[in-house]
Amino acid sequence: MLFKGNRYIVVAVVVGFIAVFAIHKVMAMRTSAGTEPVCQILVAEADITSGTALSPRLCKTEVWPERIIPAQTIKTMEQANGRVLVVPISKGEPILLNKLAPEGTAAGLGGLLQGTMRAFTIKVDDVSGVAGFISPGDRVDVLMSVPVLESRGEQLSKIILQDVKVLTAGQVWQPNSRNEPKSFSTVTLEVTPEQSEVLNLASTQGKVRLTLRSRTNKEITYTPGMITSRLVSGGMPVKPAPSSVAKATTDERTVEVIKGMNRESKKL
């Protein structure tokens, strides 16, 4: 009986050791499954506009899982301090190298321009500026409406520039005729020197409007424009006036052919 009792004790001890080992292994597997590589990265502390030089007050470091960190993410403030943003970023967004201007670029609008490009600012309202939905980095077409020379109230609408990059969009305050401050919406476009001449003339001679286009659409479409008379006729060419038709008819030449006692007129 004593031998059988000792055997039960031994069996119980062995089963206990097996249970403890199994529990330990399961817990270790769960712990290892919940652990993944992490890395410290630099993110925006607040919304930052394009043309702004980065500084410690605008950025902070966070620890992110490596699997969700975008490529070209900056890891430390030393890598980004003083670098200028070429596009705006939002609070909490990682700082990426491809969103920064080359090293040594000064803060401001000049740091956003590429090569020989120019910055041209135009005033817009909620209608001509696509109701405020235009943001830096968007691409737009520029339209102009202007009176047609030597016409009776004819207006011409024409696309004058296509696929133009928006550098900035915002508001400025200027005094009105009563010396009261008034807000104007402005959009600054990146253009070539030739395009700046076109924009300058268009903004002084007529009404300028913007149309928003897809950033991935690079197609340039040539159009003849639209004038008032074509618009009211359903977009079809305007038919000549009846007087013009009558005049054309009287200008046609005819000859008289005499056959015996019969006479008839024939058109040449």
Domain map of the chain by residue range? 38-110, 115-232
Could you give the CA distance from residue 30 to residue 4 in angstroms, rounded to a whole number?
39
Three state DSSP letters for the chain: CHHHHHHHHHHHHHHHHHHHHHHHHHHHHHHHHCCCCEEEEEEECCCECCCCECCCCCEEEEEEEHHHCCCCECCCHHHHCCCEECCCECCCCECEHHHECCCCCCCCHHHHCCCCCEEEEEEECCCCCHHHCCCCCCEEEEEEEEECCCCCCCEEEEEEEEEEEEEEEEEEEEECCCCCEEEEEEEEEEECHHHHHHHHHHHHHCEEEEEEECCCCCCCCCCCCEEHHHHHCCCCCCCCCHHHHHHHHHCCCEEEEEECCEEEEEEC
Distance set, CA 39 to CA 10, 16, 63, 71 (Å):
50, 41, 5, 13
pLDDT value, residue 255: 54
pLDDT value, residue 135: 80
Write the CATH number of the domain with boundaries 38-110. 3.90.1210.10
Distance set, CA 74 to CA 8, 55, 78 (Å):
64, 13, 9
**Element (H or E) spanning 187, and its range?**
strand 181-191
pTM for this one? 0.56
Write the CB contacts of 220 (distance below 8 Å, at least 6 apart in sequence): 162, 163
Could you give the CA distance from residue 138 to residue 187 in angstroms, rounded to a whole number?
11
Could you give the CA distance from residue 262 to residue 268 in angstroms, rounded to a whole number?
19
pLDDT-derived band at 4, boundaries 50, 70, 90: low
**Element (H or E) spanning 79, and its range?**
helix 77-80
The highest-confidence range among 42-56, 110-124, 132-146, by mean pLDDT, is: 42-56
Could you give the CA distance from residue 51 to residue 26 in angstroms, rounded to a whole number?
54
pLDDT-derived band at 205, boundaries 50, 70, 90: confident
- Using the predicted structure, report yes or no on whether residue 109 has a pLDDT greater than 80: no
Mean pLDDT of 200-224: 89
User: By mean pLDDT, which of 1-5, 45-49, 70-74, 166-170 is the weakest?
Assistant: 1-5
User: By mean pLDDT, which of 67-71, 125-129, 148-152 is the weakest?
Assistant: 125-129
Total count of residues recorded for the chain? 268
